Amino acid sequence: MKDETLNLILTEKNNRNTIIVATDIISGEQLIISENNDSEINNKILLAAKNNIMHGKSEVLEIDSKKWFINISLPPLRLITIGAVHIAQPLAEIATISGYEVTIIDPRAAFANNQRFPDIKIINDWPEEAINNIGIDNRTAVVTLTHDPKLDDSALNAVLKSNAFYIGSLGSKKTHNARIQRLKKSNFSDYEINRIHGPIGLDIGAKSPQEIAISIISEIISTRNKFEFNGDN
């Protein structure tokens, strides 16, 4: 593979873009397929590989009497956690084991630091600002855990109109109902508000931080699998 091709792939990876490398089986010609490239062959391969892109499946496809090996590389799944609370520690560990890149956002450096969260990306900024800087795509889940409306609502303001495949907020039904009323006053639609999983997590009778973390990641995985099955990747 040429240096130019490798550099382009690295750039696309850094930008969290889906990477498609199409290789002509006979000639060995390689193309980097991108939604930003409007060439005829680029668009034909994108159309033919739609199902492959959805499921991250690499295989040989025949396009215009040519056989192309389509190699799909999707951005890693990502979990953005608002609040460096006790539940965030086992959640970060379980999410990492489950294949998610984890980011903790909390302006309180006394809570959000690498002593409490080793090997986890920490951002000590206000949630709305941090999320807008990061950018949210459809391979990102966002959970708010602080119980502090100033922090949790700041995050929700940024993510409810995003492509996040999962949005969840910790709290009781009473807390969630109060959250809904605040968001309605901020002119969010019922559709946007109903995207929030609240109370967060599958109902497994969880009590400890570890059990709550398991219920949260289980709901995230369940939502992601349904999301892919419905073709929304």
| pLDDT tens by residue, 58-88 | 999 998 889 999 998 888 999 999 999 999 9
Q: Could you give the CA distance from residue 166 to residue 164 in angstroms, rounded to a whole number?
A: 5
Average pLDDT over residues 142-150: 95
Pair 200, 167: CB distance under 8 Å: no
Please tell me the predicted confidence (pLDDT) of residue 49: 85
For residue 231, pLDDT over 70 is answered with no
Average pLDDT over residues 4-15: 75
Burial of 64 (0-12, 13-18, 19+ CB in 10 A): exposed
Average pLDDT over residues 163-168: 96
Please tell me the predicted confidence (pLDDT) of residue 228: 63
Please tell me the predicted confidence (pLDDT) of residue 84: 97
Please tell me the predicted confidence (pLDDT) of residue 109: 96
pLDDT digits (tens, 9 = 90+) for 21-71: 899 999 998 888 876 666 788 888 888 888 888 778 899 999 888 999 999
pTM: 0.84
Please tell me the predicted confidence (pLDDT) of residue 230: 56
Please name the amino acid found at residue 86. H
- The rounded mean pLDDT for the chain is 90
For residue 227, pLDDT over 80 is answered with no
Please tell me the predicted confidence (pLDDT) of residue 93: 97
pLDDT digits (tens, 9 = 90+) for 88-124: 999 999 999 999 999 999 999 999 999 999 999 999 9
DSSP codes joined into one string, 167-197:
EEE-S-HHHHHHHHHHHHHTT--HHHHTTEE
Pair 192, 220: CB distance under 8 Å: no
Domain annotation for the chain: domains and CATH numbers: 3-73 (no CATH), 78-229 (3.40.50.720)
Please tell me the predicted confidence (pLDDT) of residue 177: 95
Please tell me the predicted confidence (pLDDT) of residue 113: 97
Please tell me the predicted confidence (pLDDT) of residue 70: 92
In DSSP terms, 71 is beta-bridged to: 21
pLDDT digits (tens, 9 = 90+) for 172-204: 999 999 999 999 999 999 999 999 999 999 999
Please tell me the predicted confidence (pLDDT) of residue 35: 67
